[in-house]
Structure 1
């Protein structure tokens, strides 16, 4: 092998190692709950450092749901046990409405009560469907035996 080829191979290997360490660092950062908002049985949790994968998001919820219930009284189900929890990336923080594509929290009595619409995860419970998880890449159902299966709607099956 010539010297030029060895240098290119070394550089590629170094870039791959740095990328792997960066990914490991990103995935090991703890999730930070910045704020919680409620509207009836709907809850909104603003987060930083949320897991990237569907499996990571669901695993994080299952691991932390009791702590969230104890610390924030979420979920807050209605009489038929239905609830909805939406996790939003906090991003650059609260902003004024200014543009149409922001989600605003009516429980905040200030002009800066909106965030960019960047939903990363949701957990819903209903009498008919039970616990459902919604991510960028799909919808998952928590079966009564604890198994998590990806939900395929009838329109997707065609």
Structure 2
């Protein structure tokens, strides 16, 4: 009986360690920016290895928005101050146009579309604070640096 209990505990510890290791690996992979496509004040950023949690996504944006501005000149606000930056899962790469795919007119090739898998969107209306939109909800950065979830925060 004790031998079975030890085996069970060993299996649980090993499985738990493997799960924790996998989650650690998922959360520490660097984000890979594949491409940036612009259309006025709307910008699509195709990525791999984007953070999984809402907090991770928002924190990544706050840490990297100056780099994105200097490297890719995004976001590009409209004359009224608004902009929209959406991060899309690159997935299996570019594909041909097909129903309900997101296609980029700035690419003059048949393989200029991706499957629509938005990960994270940053919107700014007029000159107000940014709104962060994820699958789980909508968030706003307050003047004091605190991030709050907005009521009715679904996509």
Q: Same fold (TM over 0.5)?
A: yes
Shift of 1:128: 6.8
Q: How does 1:7-156 map to 2 (within 5 A)?
A: 7-98=7-98, 100-127=99-126, 129-153=128-152
How far did 1:101 drift? 2.1
Alpha-carbon shift at residue 83 of structure 1 (Å): 0.3
For residues 12-70 of structure 1, what are the alpha-carbon distances to aligned partners after superposition, in whole Å with 9 as ceiling and x for unaligned?
Answer: 11000011011101110000000000000000000000000000000000000000000
TM-score where L is the length of structure 2: 0.94
Residue correspondences, number: 154
- Which structure 2 residue ranges, 5 or more long, are not aligned? none
Q: Report the aligned-residue RMSD.
A: 1.5
Provide the rounded CA distance (Å) in 2 between the counterparts of 1:27 and 1:148.
20
Structure-1-length-normalised TM-score: 0.93
CA distance, structure 2, for counterparts of residue 147 and residue 44 of structure 1: 26
Q: Structure 1: state its 5+ residue gaps.
A: none
